[in-house]
Amino acid sequence: MTDGTMTAGPAWSDDLATGVPTLDEQHRALFLCVAELETAAGERTMLSTVHAMQQLSRHAHEHFVEEERLMRMGGYPDIEDHIEEHQDFRQRLFELRRSYLDHDLSTDLIALLRAWLEDHVHKTDMDYVPYVARIGDRRPAPLECQGDAR
């Protein structure tokens, strides 16, 4: 880590809502996971940081699987490009884990995750909304990024 302080990242806001309740709940959970990772990394507690990284990784994976499933069901034509963006996030998260194992979890890397998530939800996810909305909300169980190891 470059220093002991973390800046607050973007919080969920209504302008990020896709109008698909399940996906919006999952997006909120992802923002919460990033915030928990920022907090844990700022406090420099290994157990909390590892737990927060695992939570973010698990929730991102589950969300991406669900989102991609809904895009396929809705016939979203740009699904391959969207999946590539998901791969980019997975790669950034992998780099974050690797840098943490090297004892250098930088604020810059967490900021990149935050910025990617906000940009992706605000822009790219909005493109599939008309396709997914027409099939309806098909998964009632939301993801929750809750609790940490503290």
**Type of residue at 28:** R
Numbers of helices and strands, H then E, in the chain: 5, 0
3 phi, psi to nearest 5 deg: -155, 180
CA 150, chain centre distance (Å): 21
Instruction: Judge whether 74 and 131 are in contact, CB under 8 Å.
Output: yes
Token readout for 138 is 């098909």
Considering Cα of 29, then 122, then 93, then 138, what sign does the dihedral take?
Answer: positive
Rounded-to-integer distance, Cα 62 and Cα 143, Å: 8
Q: What is the pLDDT along the chain (150 residues), one digit of tens a residue?
A: 334 444 455 577 888 899 888 899 999 999 999 888 888 888 877 778 888 888 999 999 999 999 999 999 999 999 999 999 999 999 988 888 877 766 656 566 777 778 888 888 888 888 888 888 888 666 544 556 665 443
Whole-prediction pTM = 0.72
CATH 1.10.150.20 is the classification of domain 20-133: no
